[in-house]
């Protein structure tokens, strides 16, 4: 037996160090690396059970071609010839913009993230996707405020007197943060949760503030109003380190505390308590999740929270911060890819990919190649997305499993996982660079994305595509790191502290904006909560312990999703607990099993998990394709639904 080390680069902030035990070419054990500085040997449910997915009999290990609606195995030579013929055909007849290239966060390691983009740039271009389904609204807001996204290293939580966990559920989405919360509390730190749901994380806090879903920005305004009216403001920040403070105050003055109390569901007394925590309780550390940015005002919600953190004197100090995520791409040298410019290109929005494909003209989109993404399942308005992809002439999907998107493809290309790849990854929580090392050879006839695109480029005579091994790619991508710290790639274990990340952002008083100052939000158009008789419930569908987005073990996929609602709401409709009901939105409908809860407000229903048997499109069948005010992120939480008896 041999123990090998690697890093998990799946879509999770923790980026765990992994120990894999190999016996006669098979991985028999997949555990956490005990000496990893952050994850310290613990794995989440998904990681602890990953070998069941890796060796799943449903994993596809050979290229497949669909003919007359039936899948048949083919060899790679045939697959490459078909891909090349289709790409050249649409380029020659309609131009490169008739080909759609889709990529998102199915894998966060950079070699296989960047290889596809470089291939299509070298090919001459394509129609690319823009915007996102995850952090993009909040990131856009913070980039306007700070000139970058912001996060202290996790260890800095031990310097905090107060922790505010705002729209984040680390027990489910950021497991290793929980131990830092525990350790901070042992130091005497008080911890608070701001969330419309009493989540699993509520067990680890001193108090839960149940803000109405979507009113996070308004709550931040209320807290800031109390601070300014009581003259508890960091004057140096507002006068010397920021711009636009007077215009920001005009936003605050346009709302009364009574109105804010009514809209947020947070009492004026609790708003004043939060103001005390932010100012008197410094250093106060705010940890933002994606929840507050999944609204049409998503970027504004973040900007108002950033402003609150700033005026209360909690930016640039130990134990403080408006902590969302570090700029994970800042460590990586992408000049090799950026240097290959497409001859022509255009973009459509990923959160509105269905309408983007349908509405594209001059030329229309006729072909798509989709990697590290499952837009039919993960983008809102699944039915429209599926219909748009079905209407295309030819679709290629690279994946491990037959997803809702792959089912609509004409050519399926089996790709490797991180246990078979050489790559480099970064975290969107901590400051460690993770080295992804192959533990076993590629299973079956699977290939990495970088091998697929490099091989295809050779066959097609595309000279601008880099002809490099994955290890050579890593060396190129790590150039910034090796320049800052010679010998950086002479790695020990699986992770190494980046020399490029500030442990305390803005400690020098300077921001990354053009002026070097914090930019206050200047306009805010609050979308008032109104009663909708036809669709009375606000749908919230948070992430769950056993899924990474739509990636799940077959045994964990239920027959129907569970819909939680308050008993009095169910009684008003005439439905009972454990009853199967129909849930309807403006774009689709599903069936769900009812359960009662006291952890929600009466205007919300919570549906989990995101997929279930016989419906691998899942929850996005219901979600409308709204967009955030900045960042072109899916405003997932805006969807309203009704619940009907069957």
Q: pLDDT tens-digit profile of 489-534?
A: 987 778 999 999 999 999 999 999 999 999 999 999 999 988 889 9
Q: Is residue 511 part of a domain?
A: no
Question: What digits encode the pLDDT tens for the residues 322-370?
Answer: 999 999 999 999 999 999 999 999 999 999 999 999 999 999 999 999 9
**In this structure, is residue 521 part of a structural domain?**
no
Task: Give the pLDDT confidence score for residue 529 in this predicted structure.
Answer: 80
Residues 289 and 348 in one domain: no
Tell me if 232 is assigned to some domain: yes
Which pLDDT score is estimated for 137?
98
- Look up residue 131 and give its two tokens: 């915007």
Q: How far apart are CA 624 and CA 37, in angstroms?
A: 41
CATH code at position 456: 3.40.50.740
How does pLDDT run across 258-269, given as a tens digit for each residue? Answer: 999 999 999 999
Q: Do 17 and 35 share a structural domain?
A: yes
Instruction: Say how far apart CA 410 and CA 418 lie, in whole Å.
Output: 25
286 and 140 share one domain: yes
CA distance 31 to 43: 7
| CATH number of the CATH domain containing 543 | 2.40.40.20
* In the predicted structure, residue 538 carries a pLDDT above the cut 90: yes
Identify whether residues 275 and 201 lie together within a single domain. yes
Question: Is the pLDDT score of 548 beyond 90?
Answer: no
CATH of the domain at 44: 3.30.200.210
In a domain, 501, yes or no: no
CATH of the domain at 179: 3.40.228.10
Among residues 467, 485, 503, the one where a domain terminates is 485
Q: Are 278 and 356 contained in the same domain?
A: no
514 is a domain residue:
no
- Do 117 and 80 fall into the same domain? yes
- How many CA atoms lie less than 13 Å away from 418 in the CB half-sphere? 33
Residues 6+ apart with CB under 8 A from 442: 416, 420, 448
pLDDT, mean of residues 1-11: 96
pLDDT 10s digits, 569-612: 999 999 999 999 999 999 999 999 999 999 999 999 999 999 99
**Mean of the per-residue pLDDT values of the chain:** 97
Instruction: Enumerate the H helices of 265-334 as residue ranges.
Output: 268-279, 298-311
Which of 292, 324, 356 terminates a domain? The answer is: 324
Predicted pLDDT at 615: 85
| 357 shares its domain with 315 | no
Among the three residues 441, 459, 485, which one is the final residue of a domain in this structure? 485
Let me know whether 69 and 50 are in one domain. no
The answer to whether residue 299 sits within a structural domain is: yes
pLDDT tens-digit profile of 93-129? 999 999 999 999 888 999 999 999 999 999 999 999 9
Question: Does residue 616 carry a pLDDT above 90?
Answer: no
The average pLDDT across 306-332 equals 97
pLDDT value for 357: 98
Do 438 and 460 fall within a single domain?
yes
Does residue 303 fall inside a structural domain? yes
- Which among 324, 326, 337 is positioned nearest to 292, based on CA atoms? 324
With a CB cutoff of 8 Å and minimum separation 6, the contacts of 261 are 222, 267, 268, 271
Would 401 be classed as within a structural domain? yes
Do 185 and 260 belong together in one domain? yes
Indicate if 359 and 470 belong to the same structural domain: yes
The confidence score (pLDDT) of residue 531 equals 81
**Phi–psi pair at 125, nearest 5 degrees:** 125, -175
The number of domains in the chain is 4
What count of Cα atoms within 13 Å lies in the side-chain half-sphere of residue 459?
18
Q: What is the mean pLDDT of residues 42-66?
A: 97
Q: How far apart are CA 321 and CA 339, in angstroms?
A: 35
Domain that holds residue 157: 136-324
Statement to judge: residues 300 and 407 lie in one domain: no
């Amino acid at each position: 037996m041999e123990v090998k080390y690697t890093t998990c680069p799946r879509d999770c902030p923790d980026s765990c160090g992994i120990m894999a035990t190999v016996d006669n070419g098979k991985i028999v054990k997949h555990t956490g690396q005990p000496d990893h500085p952050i994850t310290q040997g613990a794995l989440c449910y998904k990681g602890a059970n990953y070998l069941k997915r890796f060796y799943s009999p449903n994993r596809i290990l050979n290229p497949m071609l669909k003919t007359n609606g039936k899948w048949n195995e083919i060899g790679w030579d045939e697959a490459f010839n078909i891909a090349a013929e289709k790409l050249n055909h649409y380029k020659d007849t309609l131009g490169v913009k008739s080909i759609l290239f889709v990529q998102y966060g199915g894998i966060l390691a950079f070699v296989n993230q960047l290889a596809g983009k470089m291939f299509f740039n070298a090919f001459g271009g394509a129609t690319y996707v823009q915007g996102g389904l995850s952090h993009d609204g909040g990131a856009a807001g913070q980039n306007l405020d700070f000139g970058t996204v912001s996060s202290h290293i996790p260890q800095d939580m031990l310097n905090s007197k107060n922790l505010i966990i705002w729209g984040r559920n680390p027990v489910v989405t950021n497991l290793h943060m929980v131990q830092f919360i525990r350790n901070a509390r042992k130091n005497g730190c008080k911890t608070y949760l701001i969330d419309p749901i009493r989540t699993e994380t509520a067990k680890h806090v001193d108090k839960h503030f149940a803000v109405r879903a979507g009113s996070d920005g308004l709550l931040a305004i209320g807290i800031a109003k109390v601070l300014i009216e009581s003259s508890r403001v960091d004057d140096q920040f507002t006068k010397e380190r920021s711009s636009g403070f007077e215009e920001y105050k005009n936003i605050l003055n346009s709302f009364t505390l009574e109105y804010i109390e009514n809209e947020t569901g947070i009492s004026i007394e609790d708003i004043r308590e939060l103001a005390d925590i932010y100012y008197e309780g410094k250093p106060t550390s705010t940890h933002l999740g994606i929840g507050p940015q999944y609204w049409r005002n998503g970027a504004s919600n973040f900007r108002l929270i950033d402003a609150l953190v700033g005026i209360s004197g909690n930016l640039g100090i130990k134990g403080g911060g408006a902590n969302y995520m570090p700029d994970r791409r800042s460590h990586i040298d992408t000049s090799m890819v950026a240097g290959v410019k497409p001859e022509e290109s255009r973009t459509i929005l990923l959160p509105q990919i269905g309408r983007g494909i349908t509405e594209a003209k001059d030329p229309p989109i006729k072909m798509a190649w989709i990697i590290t993404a499952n837009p039919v399942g993960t983008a809102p308005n699944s039915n429209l997305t599926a219909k748009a992809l079905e209407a295309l002439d030819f679709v290629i999907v690279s994946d491990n499993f037959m997803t809702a998107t792959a089912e609509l493809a004409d050519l399926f290309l089996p790709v490797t996982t991180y246990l078979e790849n050489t790559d480099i990854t970064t975290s969107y929580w901590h400051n460690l660079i993770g080295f992804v090392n192959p533990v076993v050879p590629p299973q079956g006839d699977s290939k990495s994305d970088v091998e697929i695109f490099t091989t295809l480029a050779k066959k097609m005579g595309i000279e601008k595509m880099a002809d490099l091994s994955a290890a050579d790619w890593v060396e190129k991508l790590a150039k910034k790191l090796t320049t800052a710290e010679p010998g950086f790639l002479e790695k020990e274990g699986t992770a190494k502290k980046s020399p490029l990340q500030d442990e305390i952002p803005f400690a020098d008083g300077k921001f990354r904006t053009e002026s070097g100052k914090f930019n206050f939000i200047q306009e805010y158009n609050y979308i008032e909560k109104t009663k909708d008789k036809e669709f009375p419930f606000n749908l919230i569908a948070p992430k769950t312990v056993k899924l990474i987005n739509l990636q799940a073990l077959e045994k964990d996929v239920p027959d129907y999703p569970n819909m939680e609602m308050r008993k009095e709401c169910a009684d008003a409709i005439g439905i009972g607990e454990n009853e199967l009901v129909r849930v309807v939105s403006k774009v689709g409908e599903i069936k769900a099993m009812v359960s009662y809860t006291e952890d929600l407000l009466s205007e919300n229903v919570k549906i989990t998990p995101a997929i279930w048997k016989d419906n691998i499109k899942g929850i996005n069948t219901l979600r409308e394709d709204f967009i955030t005010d900045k960042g072109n992120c899916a405003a997932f939480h805006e969807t309203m639904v009704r619940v009907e008896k069957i």
